[in-house]
Chains A and B, each alone.
Chain A
């Protein structure tokens, strides 16, 4: 730190400028990417982008609870299911309701809400359920929460299968209007990431993190662990429910089988790859897992390089993902970013160091650490 004590004031002002420039460039880049995908007319790329954004919401929301509180939840896909079914029942056109859900109770049978209120109600319903089950579940700790939330996932599935008047039971719930567009997904994902980020760096977030790292100490300074965890659980469930609603209006047909173990583990893998507790890590993890899967899936039908060709290799993407996970657990167990964040400030600081010393910063710092006489 003392090395730039002489020009502290100047350094900060320069950094602020860089910071805004970086933010502006990043924003422009995202906006440009959005416009290229939105206007590009490549429906395949658009579908992948929407799926990415929905998965991102699921991963960030799960991370918002599991990563921040250190309590593992295996039941989040249950909230996704609640959000999906609630919003789909609300937006389904009245004629389709008469045909597909003849036993729907009167007030629901005669309404077809627009997209936004249906999404919000889906999210709120998920949050309400989270609040109710959270009170008993969050009194537990450690692995017991994982088991209890797993129980919630199984109960949700059984309820969905048996509430035939609302869900058609195991039969496919079809005919949902395809409201989810890239813009909707981008808007919600941005909101989700923003809120998670603000939460992590707020007083409440610090309390949650403190309760994770040292429950006794946190309690000692007056953190109501149960209450802050419940708030995180509720916010997390809300966004998971909204993501479920977006997913339902994206795919337009689904059954309770969609919201079970395979989806649960898909999301958990993305979270683990990125790093538990890191929001930027969630973005990296989701992007990496989805691009590996999609890339390998495209190779599955077989590749021809010149005269050399490899036949069809179905299942390659699952194998590739497994290999990635094995390497990750062997060499970087905390995930790519651990629980740290990728911060613009840190990047700029490094760049400034580099500019100042005309040297590659990591080399310089390692030399400096190794030999204290090399400082000047």
Chain B
């Protein structure tokens, strides 16, 4: 009995080993030779009669980042299909290789290596968080493959990764500056500052907000922190209630998962002043969890995606997204994914080739490119677009446009 089982196990391993070899070759048209030269150069793809231009698109489609990465991937896929329907780029269709990286930096690095080495992609787009960009970015940098991050907003990324990295969104310093300037003018000179210590994005956003707000002449009357995933904010709320005088507004830097809970608990405790935040608030969860308590909440984000937007590009995008996926864009990252593919396609068109350096140069030459999330400008000095920031107000149970502006001064990254 026992030896039989042994052979069963051995058999299983053999099947798996055999299967493991097969799929590596199946999706790739060109199998990798066993004795390939050691130098991993980005393949100068041969324009052989409309062979597709391959673009790697790693996203965290499962795990903690999925709620914003799935819409981003959907937006990117939509853009690629539209471009192909309109004749493609350089007479060739775009093939978007969407891969799941499981909210795991090690998987992100492996997947990007595979995309570059085996699938020979000419550029990579993806990710909405800097952890994954920093894991995958150096690999693209070494291979000379341009990499545009769809939604990671840390303004330090290009400095940390290198000149092959571009951002599709604005940097956190820009949106924090707009948040500070907007609230300073509209609400007043005193603020309460609460941030999530458990994430880089929230920490950095709070830091830039404080820098710009105090520079304007504002005062932070109380600073406090919490950890992502906390469910009870009564300790923080008690400290706010103990203040001799309530501040003009409350700046709360939070991740999408926590936004609704925080807002609801603050309102239930009788704190009804304006709450201001960043693009982490741009999630359906805010209205779903906080409900009517979300009134008088303001946040900075990339764009207001509604079917009745005054902006024609937004209206067109929302309609196309709804037609393809049966729902309005779940998060603004859908629009960022869409814009990223369009801006990359424009760069390939301008470069006239799929060489990494040529695409990078072409990206740096892009000025006033009309996108759903604003106008995109790159330059050799700045790989972060100088885009306008949208301020959204929750009014009558809906996201409404409060302002669209550019900051007067941006804190250094």
Binding site for B on A (CB under 8 A): 36, 39-44, 47-48, 51, 161-162, 169-172, 174-175, 178, 247, 251-255, 257-258, 262, 284, 288, 291-292, 294-295, 297-301, 303-304, 312, 314-315, 317-318, 332, 336, 361-362, 366
Contacts and interface: CB of A to CB of B under 8 A. Distances in A.
A296 to B, nearest CB: 9
A169 B228 CA distance: 13
B200 A40 contact: no
Contacts, number: 120
B160 interface: yes
B4 interface: yes
Interface string B127-138: 000110011001
A171 B38 contact: no
A362 B3 contact: yes
B412 to A, nearest CB: 13
Interface stretch (B11-19, B365-373, B377-385): B11-19
Nearest to B40: A43
B102 A318 contact: yes
B20 interface: yes
Contacts of A162: 197
Contacts of A172: 130-131, 134, 200
8 contacts: A41-B40, A47-B110, A170-B200, A247-B106, A258-B105, A291-B17, A291-B20, A303-B23
B375 interface: no
A122 B104 CA distance: 23
A332 B8 CA distance: 12
Given A40-B34, A362-B3, 11 more contacts: A41-B40, A43-B116, A172-B131, A172-B200, A288-B16, A291-B16, A291-B20, A295-B23, A301-B27, A303-B27, A366-B1
A148 to B, nearest CB: 22
Contacts of B83: none
Contacts of B20: 291, 294-295
B138 A178 contact: yes
A304 B17 CA distance: 20
A182 to B, nearest CB: 12
A113 B19 CA distance: 43
Contacts of B17: 291
A257 B131 contact: yes
B204 interface: yes
A298 B16 contact: no
Contacts of A44: 110, 113-114, 117-118
Contact of A301 (B1, B36, B99): B99
A294 B107 CA distance: 10
Contact of A42 (B117, B131, B138, B227): B117
B117 A314 contact: no
B98 A312 contact: yes
B36 A51 contact: no
Contact of A298 (B23, B61, B130): B23
B203 interface: yes
A297 B20 CA distance: 10
A308 to B, nearest CB: 13
